[in-house]
Amino acid sequence: MTSTGLVYMMTPALACFYGGLVENKNFLNQLFLSIVCMAIIPVQWCLFGYSFTFGPGNSVFGSFDYSAGRKLGLVSLNGETADQVNPLSVPSLAFSAFQCSFAIITPALISGAVVGRMKLIPYMLFIFLWATFCYDPLARWTFYNLGWLRQMGVVDFAGGLVVHISSGISGLVAALILGSRAQFDPDVLNTGQTNIPFTIVGTGLLWVGWMGFNGGSAFEASGKFIFRKFSWKIVLFINEQEIYGSYSFFEGIAALAIVNSNVAAASSMTIWIILDMIHGKLRGQDNVFVSIPGVCSATVVGLVAITPCAGYVQPGYAVLIGACGGFIVNLFLAGKKRFFHVDDTLDVFSCHGLGGFIGTVMAGLFTQTDVNSAVANGAFYGNPIQLVYQLVGIVVVASFSAACTAAILLPMHFTFGIRINRLEQVRGLDNVAHGIVDMDASKKVPQISAPPLRQKQTEMNIVPIISIENNVQ
């Protein structure tokens, strides 16, 4: 339940993170695009979303058996009667609430790709349909114990595929369908970034929330009790007698996931700062230059990259994964400004799509059965087929997400329209969509001083006097 609360907090944190990166005229609208997911998705999840994802069914589709929460509170398993993992450790209602928090934040991530140019009603309709036809099936295939991707061997500890790659690809497709914002120029920095403190606060809250996101995905705090015999001889001297035997320990997967998440975020941030300094020197800057939005994004990239394998790898590999994520995404963003002129406004694809791709591939390389007995070894430990499974998972999730997003948005685009017109984009969606009036606008209008007015009035009074005298003469 603690992890559920932490992940729920991540959606308002995401709103702050995104809001601080947009222009003032779209600030409140960007907050709303994230927060409204907390209204739409829990209703959808209760009515049929949870049942579609974790209810009785086959490896592809669920059913309506748990619709509207029916039978849900009577199932003392991990969400479904067919799942025999930890049968009494997590009540189904707690499991449903935890998974709902994932379903909320995933479509909220997409909002960063459609900043300042999407109508509200089409957006809310898209969120509902996307969660139903895209997220729920993907979660079924990957998170559900009998899902076909999971049965094939694809591993995804906490949502690198289901949450990040799906939202990153969907955000990219949505940006392509909507087109660029009015006055969009990929070669010019966004001059409206005047709320960066919100982004910093949002980054911190996301980091804290990620402890529940990844740590909670272990579904237990203390870990599993493991009993093993000595593989090598340990000698203890007690009363001058040698004692040989076996040992037992707790396999703390939740603690491992939290440690890995922290060090991956830290290593990604560190490598990003170093790259910023190098780029600054290459541009001939005398002083050290470090981008605050960039560092905040680096933190998120590190957390995204470790998500697919947070409970499957050693902390040393987590440092490497975070550093690789920060390095690759930083270079990709540098190239994006020159070659990839798509208005993915807040880099949803770069941070979440590409970051999730990196983490999922790394899971195919570095996972260890000795670290977590629930997963097979990766390619570096004698099982190269695991990397193949991960690549298949990436292709399936990316293709399905792109197809679903296009199938939902294109009919709306060609019928009643989903894009705000150019003039309203210039005004800003805070005013257009929410009726917010800029109270500081009057300060921007130049005031006319009093002396010119009196002077003009005097001149106007003199003219008729002169004209009357001329008429009398």
pLDDT tens for residues 300-322?
A: 999 999 999 999 999 999 999 99
- Backbone phi, then psi, for 226, in 5-degree steps? -115, 135
Q: Indicate the pTM of the whole model.
A: 0.84
Contact 196, 20 (CB under 8 A): yes
Question: By mean pLDDT, which of 72-76, 222-226, 234-238, 270-274 is the weakest?
Answer: 234-238
Q: Which residues contact 289 (CB under 8 A, 6 or more apart)?
A: 276, 277, 279, 280, 283
Q: Is pLDDT above 70 for 467?
A: no
Name residue, tokens 């440092």.
Answer: 319
Average pLDDT over residues 360-377: 94
Residue 198 CA from chain centroid, whole number: 16
Contact 11, 35 (CB under 8 A): yes
Between residues 83 and 258, the one the model is more confident about:
258
CATH assignment of 1-61+91-225+270-434? Answer: 1.10.3430.10
Domain ranges (residues) in the chain? 1-61+91-225+270-434
Q: Is pLDDT above 50 for 1?
A: yes
Provide Rg for the chain, Cα atoms.
28
Question: CA 24, 28, 34 angle in degrees (round to 5)?
Answer: 125
Closest CA to 10 of 130, 114, 107, 102: 102
Task: Convert 359-369 to b/e letters by CB count within 10 Å (16 or more is b).
Answer: bbbbbbbbbbe
- Spatial distance between the Cα atoms of 32 and 12, rounded to a whole number of angstroms: 10
- Tens-digit pLDDT profile for residues 403-425: 999 999 999 999 999 999 999 99
- Spatial distance between the Cα atoms of 52 and 62, rounded to a whole number of angstroms: 4
For residue 30, the model assigns a pLDDT of 95
- Spatial distance between the Cα atoms of 183 and 189, rounded to a whole number of angstroms: 12
Q: Are strands 246-251 and 241-243 parallel, antiparallel or unpaired?
A: unpaired
Average pLDDT over residues 8-22: 95
- Quickly list H helices, 239-314: 253-282, 292-306
- Tens-digit pLDDT profile for residues 438-450: 666 445 444 444 4
Q: Is pLDDT above 60 for 161?
A: yes
Within 10 Å of residue 429's Cβ, how many Cβ atoms?
A: 27
- Spatial distance between the Cα atoms of 295 and 132, rounded to a whole number of angstroms: 34
Contact 297, 269 (CB under 8 A): no
Average pLDDT over residues 462-466: 43
For residue 66, the model assigns a pLDDT of 86
For residue 465, the model assigns a pLDDT of 44
460 by DSSP, 3-state: which?
helix
- In this prediction, residue 248 has a pLDDT band, given cuts at 50, 70 and 90, of very low
For residue 223, the model assigns a pLDDT of 53
Average pLDDT over residues 239-251: 40
Q: Are strands 241-243 and 236-238 parallel, antiparallel or unpaired?
A: antiparallel
Average pLDDT over residues 200-223: 90
- Spatial distance between the Cα atoms of 190 and 21, rounded to a whole number of angstroms: 8
- Tens-digit pLDDT profile for residues 183-193: 776 655 555 55
- Backbone phi, then psi, for 449, in 5-degree steps? -70, 155
Q: Is pLDDT above 60 for 224?
A: no
Percent of the chain exceeding pLDDT 70 equals 80
For residue 281, the model assigns a pLDDT of 81
- Spatial distance between the Cα atoms of 130 and 37, rounded to a whole number of angstroms: 12
Closest CA to 222 of 248, 256, 246, 247: 256
For residue 341, the model assigns a pLDDT of 80
For residue 334, the model assigns a pLDDT of 87
Q: Which residues contact 27 (CB under 8 A, 6 or more apart)?
A: 19, 195, 430
Closest CA to 326 of 350, 346, 343: 350
Closest CA to 367 of 303, 317, 305, 301: 317
> Residue 107 has what DSSP assignment?
H
Percent of the chain exceeding pLDDT 90 equals 66
Mean pLDDT across the chain:
84
User: DSSP 3-state helix, strand, coil percentages of the chain (rounded to 5)?
Assistant: 65, 5, 30
- Spatial distance between the Cα atoms of 262 and 254, rounded to a whole number of angstroms: 13
